[in-house]
Amino acid sequence: MCGIVGYIGCRDAFPILIKGLYHLEYRGYDSAGVALANGGEMNIYKTKGRVSELEAFCKNRDVSGTAGIAHTRWATHGEPNNINAHPHYSESKNIALIHNGIIENYVVIKDRLIQNGCHFQSDTDTEVLAQLIEYIKELNNIDLCAAVQLALGQVIGAYAIAVMEKGRPDRLIAARKSSPLALGVGEDEFFIASDASPIIEYTNKVIYLEDEEIAVVYRHEAPKIVTIGNIEKTREIIQLEISLSQLEKGGYPHFMLKEIFDQPRTLRDCMRGRIDADCKQVVLSGIRDHKERFCNAKRIIILACGTSWHAGLIGEYLLEEFCRIPVEVEYSSEFRYRNPVMYPDDVVIAISQSGETADTLAAIDLARRAGAFVYGICNVVGSSIARNTHSGSYTHVGPEIGVASTKAFTAQLMTLAMMSLCIAREKKTISEERFLRLLEELNRIPDKVERILRADESIKNLAGIFTYAHNFIYLGRGYNYPIAMEGALKLKEISYIHAEGYPAAEMKHGPIALIDSEMPVVAIATDNEMYEKVISNIQEVKARNGRIIAIVSENDAAMKDIADYVIEIPATEDCFDPLLTVIPLQLLSYHIAVTKRRDVDRPRNLAKSVTVE
C-alpha cells in the first residue's frame, strides 16, 4: 500500500507531485508528505491526514523546485502522525526517502545503527532504510547509488523507494522489490510512481522496473538502470493505453458509482475480440496457447484474496460444471504458508484486480516452484502478477479507483465464464447446443446489467430505510452463495456495518439465532433450481420477524407477498446469475454508505492494493 511519486524536469515539481498523490490516494491516505529539491536546499513538508491537508499545509510555504518526491501513506509500522509520515530523513538530513512496502528486518538494522550513533525520529521501518543508506555512504565514502545498492542488499522485505539527496537537484534514485514502480519517460522530464495514474497526463511512455532494480534518473538523459548487484539493464519503454478521462469521475459523485455504472461497457470491453460477432466462437489467446495444460489438468487451484477470491469461488462452480475438472479455491494468504500438496500437472489460476497483492504474488511463487503452470487473471496491464505468471487474460476494464471492487469483479466473472466455455468446448464436456446457447446469453449480459442499473433510484430509497442497521445477513445458494459473501463484503468495507454472507441453507445451523425484527436479511432468490429451497430459507427468517430484501427474477409475483422489499432483475442462465445479482448489492452498499456519510472511495483502514502481507 502507500503511493509514491517523484518528478524531475523543467517544470515546478510541487503541483505535479500533489496531483500525483491525489491519483494515488486510493493506495493509502492516513498521512502524506513531500520533499522538494531547490538548488542546494531540500524542503520537506508532511502532515497526518489526506493529501488535501498536505496541500493546505504547504500554502504560503516555499514549494519551489523542479525535482521532488512525495508519498501518501497506509500505516504499517507506527501510527499515522506527522512524524511517521514520509519522506524520512537520514541522520544528517541530507537524504530523503519515501517507501512503499515493509522492511522486515528493520529492528536488527535499527539496533545496529543506534549502536553506531544514529538517532531515530519515527517508529517506521522506512526511516531505518534512509539512515542505513547514509551510514553506508559515509562509511565507504561512496556515491548515493552505490550506497542504495549496498543498503538494499541488506534488507529483507518489499520496497518501492524514491531517494533524493540535498545539493543534488539533478538526480532521483528509485528502486523496487515486490512493490510496483513505474518510470514515466517524457521530454527532458521523468516521473516515478506506484502506478501510471500520476504519469499519464504528461507522457504515455513508461518503463516498469523489475525486482531488485535501481533507476538513476537525471533530468536530461535516459535513466540508468542497474541491479542491486550492479549489473546494467536495458528495459523496454512501454506505450500506455489508458487515458486521463479514465482516471476522472466523469460527473459522478464517487468513483465507485462511476465504476458501477461503467459495467455494461466494461463487460463489453472484456468480451471484445474474444467472442465473435455471431456468438459462435470464444477465443482467449492465453487458453488457446496452453489448451493442453488446461485440458489435461487433473486439478485447478484458484488463488486470490478478498473480492477476487469471491470471483474464484464462482470460477470453481463454472469450471467444475462445464469442464469437469476438480477445483480448489484458496486464500493466497493461507496457501502460501501451509505447505500444500502440489503436482506438476496442476493448473493454478491467480486472480487479482491490481496484480500487486503481496499474498497472491507469494502464493504464485510457491506454485511455480512446485512446478505448476500458473495463469493470471489481472486487470492492471504489466502488473507484477501479470508478469510473474506463465500466461493469462486481462480483464480490460481500465483503472478501478474506488477501493471497493465492482467493475473488476464482474469482469473477472466474465473472464472465468469465457475461460470455462473455451476449455469445455475443447474438452468436449459441453454439448455444442448448450455452448452456443450460453455464449449468446453471455453476450446479452451487458444489456441486462444496463436494465438493472435503471433501478438505482429505488435502491437508493431502500438504502435510506436501512441505515439504522448495525448488522446485515446476506443469503444465497449455488452460484449466488459467493455473491452473498461479496454483497456482505461490499457493505462492510464502505459503510462499516457488520455483515455476513452465508449459503442460505447454513443459516439454520447457527446464524438464525441472530434474526430478530431489527435484522435485515438480503436473500438472493432468482428463478433457478434452488428457488424453492431459498423460499423455504426466507420463510424461516420471516417466521422470526427478520426484515427481508429479496433479489428476484422479473415478474416474481409470489415473493411480493413474502419479502418486505423486492428488487427485480432480468432472468438469465443460473451460471451467469452472479453477473446480475451482484449489481443491486453494489448499489445498495453504495447508497447506504453515502447516506451514512462515509468516504465511499477511500474507506477507513483500507487501501486499494494490498502490497504488504
Residue placing its CB nearer to ligand M6R in the complex, 151 or 305: 305
- The C-alpha cell at 53 is 491537508
Please report whether residue 404 would count as binding ligand M6R according to CB under 6 A. yes
The one-letter code for the residue type at 263 is Q
Tell the smallest beta-carbon distance from residue 123 to ligand M6R (Å): 25
Please report whether residue 610 would count as binding ligand M6R according to CB under 6 A. yes
Window 338 to 367, contacts with ligand M6R (CB under 6 A): 352-354, 357, 360
Residue placing its CB nearer to ligand M6R in the complex, 352 or 410: 352
Selected from 262, 316, 346, 493, the binder of ligand M6R by CB under 6 A is 493
C-alpha closest to that of 500 among 517, 520, 516, 529: 520
- Pick the catalytic residue: 2, 145, 305, 378? 2
Cα gap 475→482, rounded to integer Å: 9
Known catalytic residue: 508? Answer: no
Tell the smallest beta-carbon distance from residue 386 to ligand M6R (Å): 12
Q: Is 525 helix (H, G, I), strand (E, B) or coil?
A: strand
Q: How many CB atoms lie within 10 A of CB 522?
A: 28
Cell 472484456 belongs to which residue? Answer: 270
Stretch that binds ligand M6R, among 134-142, 260-268, 301-309, 419-427 (CB under 6 A): 301-309
Give the Å distances, CA to CA, from 462 to 408, 503, 535, 569, 592.
25, 24, 21, 16, 9
Residue placing its CB nearer to ligand M6R in the complex, 65 or 312: 312
Known catalytic residue: 279? Answer: no
Please report whether residue 305 would count as binding ligand M6R according to CB under 6 A. yes
Q: Is 143 helix (H, G, I), strand (E, B) or coil?
A: coil
Binding-site string for ligand M6R from residue 307 to residue 326, where x marks contact by CB under 6 A and - marks none? xx------------------
Cα gap 541→549, rounded to integer Å: 11
For CA atoms 102, 107, 110, 112, give the dihedral sign. negative
Please report whether residue 480 would count as binding ligand M6R according to CB under 6 A. no
Residue placing its CB nearer to ligand M6R in the complex, 124 or 609: 609
C-alpha closest to that of 476 among 515, 533, 433, 424: 533
- Pick the catalytic residue: 19, 258, 490, 608? 608
Please report whether residue 452 would count as binding ligand M6R according to CB under 6 A. no
Tell the smallest beta-carbon distance from residue 599 to ligand M6R (Å): 14
Cα gap 179→150, rounded to integer Å: 19
Binding-site string for ligand M6R from residue 589 to residue 608, where x marks contact by CB under 6 A and - marks none? -----------------x--
Please report whether residue 383 would count as binding ligand M6R according to CB under 6 A. no
Residue placing its CB nearer to ligand M6R in the complex, 65 or 306: 306
* 17 Cβ contact list (under 8 Å, min separation 6): 5, 6, 7, 34, 36, 68, 69, 70
Tell the smallest beta-carbon distance from residue 81 to ligand M6R (Å): 25
Residue placing its CB nearer to ligand M6R in the complex, 204 or 308: 308
Please report whether residue 306 would count as binding ligand M6R according to CB under 6 A. yes
Q: Which residue is nearest to ligand M6R (CB)?
A: 306
Cα gap 217→69, rounded to integer Å: 12
Residue placing its CB nearer to ligand M6R in the complex, 327 or 351: 351
Cα gap 429→461, rounded to integer Å: 45
Cα gap 432→264, rounded to integer Å: 27
- The C-alpha cell at 581 is 445479482
- DSSP-derived letter for residue 158 is E
Selected from 405, 415, 586, 611, the binder of ligand M6R by CB under 6 A is 405
Binding-site string for ligand M6R from residue 550 to residue 579, where x marks contact by CB under 6 A and - marks none? ------------------------------
Tell the smallest beta-carbon distance from residue 220 to ligand M6R (Å): 37
Stretch that binds ligand M6R, among 137-145, 204-212, 399-407, 550-558 (CB under 6 A): 399-407
Strand 547-553 and strand 565-569: pairing? parallel
Burial category of 51 from C-beta neighbours within 10 Å (exposed 0-12, middle 13-18, buried 19 and up):
buried
* 186 Cβ contact list (under 8 Å, min separation 6): 9, 202, 203, 205
Residue placing its CB nearer to ligand M6R in the complex, 72 or 357: 357
Residue placing its CB nearer to ligand M6R in the complex, 331 or 531: 331
Contact indicator for 198, 5 with CB cutoff of 8 Å = yes
Stretch that binds ligand M6R, among 144-152, 303-311, 547-555, 572-580 (CB under 6 A): 303-311
Contact indicator for 105, 98 with CB cutoff of 8 Å = no
Peptide bond preceding 87 in cis form (omega within 30 of 0)? yes
Tell the smallest beta-carbon distance from residue 499 to ligand M6R (Å): 13
Tell the smallest beta-carbon distance from residue 392 to ligand M6R (Å): 13
Q: Which residue ranges make up the site for ligand M6R (CB under 6 A)?
A: 305-308, 352-354, 357, 360, 403-405, 493, 606, 609-610
Which residues are marked as active site? Answer: 2, 608
